[in-house]
Structure 1
Amino acid sequence: MQEAKPVATPMSETKKLTLDSGTPLADPKQYCMVIGSLQYLSFTRPDIGFAVNRLSQYMHRPTNDHWQAAKRVLRYLAGARSHGIFLRSDCPLTVHAFSDADWGGDKGDCISTNAYIVYFGGSPISWSSKKQKSVARSSTEAEYRAMANAASELQWISSLLTELGIVLPVAPVIYCDNMGATYLCSNPVFHSRKKHIALDYHFVRGYIQSGALRVSYISTHDQLADAITKPLLRLRFHLLGNKIGVKPLPPS
């Protein structure tokens, strides 16, 4: 695939993959090897985070459609092999995260995908793109679950920084583009229709009340985690990728 024609995005935004799409591969070994390698690469390349998460869900029964999608990721990487995370040194030592969810994005089982990207200063240091464990009955529920995952990661990172002797000037912030989830964080009244997400609610609320966490609303246009919750059009993907901090190496 080194000489393959590059593509602009790692995953097609029009072709929807499902567990039953395509013909099962006679020998899935090569597919599993490629996806396994991509999982390691995604540790330093958040731009392929969603594609790797999606394709990993078919490793037990890959088809020719899944194999073509995996090769598309390789074609994308062939045209972006010089890209990497840009680590900035000119930013204050603050911690913030972008949290997002694609409500019911999986057409096979209607389970949402949640994602977060955590920044230390101006550089991304942690990210995740993962399917939720059950169907969310509202977009607010899906977004709040994603926010709880981001809050858990921020808690661990803040604890690690404390052990390293780094004092954060302000409490970490989670940026969310769902008004309902943001309002639920600041509203002390827990509505009965939200009892099914009680654990996530009390987990996040506890940190907010103690002053260890803040949640702020952000417009969908500026939501960077959108890049790892769903396939995007080329212009939108490259815009968010650049804002995330995945950039080509400067000329030496």
Structure 2
Amino acid sequence: MQKKYIIDLLAKPNMLNSKPVTTPLSPHPPLTPTSGELFDNPAQYRIVVGSLQYLSFMLPDLAFVVNRLSQFMHSPTVLHWQAAKRVLRYLAGIMDMVSTNAYVIYLGTTPIAWSSKKQSGVTRSSIESEYPAIANATSELMWICSLLTELGVRLPTAPVVYFDNMGATYLYENPVLRSLTHEAHCH
């Protein structure tokens, strides 16, 4: 899932064949609100940085640089755009590495629990990697609900788990397929 998202993101600014770099941000020159001339395509900058924000939930090594780039959304410069393209070049170099599973649990609009872990091994499909991640998030959510109940806190609505993998959704909604998959992994 992440690799396809990264490939799609690299394709937008025509950077699929860009030379990879080993770090997402260069210390020089420092990024300031007035660094360089205004970028002539601020919409493209905003689209790329917005897409990077989504990825930063799953790739914590992007968190700092994406936060920094987000500070210039209102008036990006050419230097800011070059920094954003460097992040894309970094992604080009890591997209074939081990994937990361992540989740965030909110109480209302406040995040109260989160996890971001590299997968322990190579999987044959996105379903195989996403389904255990969903189970881990659900287990954490159940524990939090149990704790809140013990504290006398009543939730106004039932908790909801959102995930973005159609195969995992289909597997979850099809109990026959789910039981066959479970048997296949247990034997």
Name the TM-score, length of structure 1 as normaliser. Answer: 0.36
Structure with greater helix share of residues: 2
User: Is the strand fraction higher in 1 or 2?
Assistant: 1
Structure number with bigger Rg: 2
Larger RCO (CA within 8 A; separation ≥ 6): 1
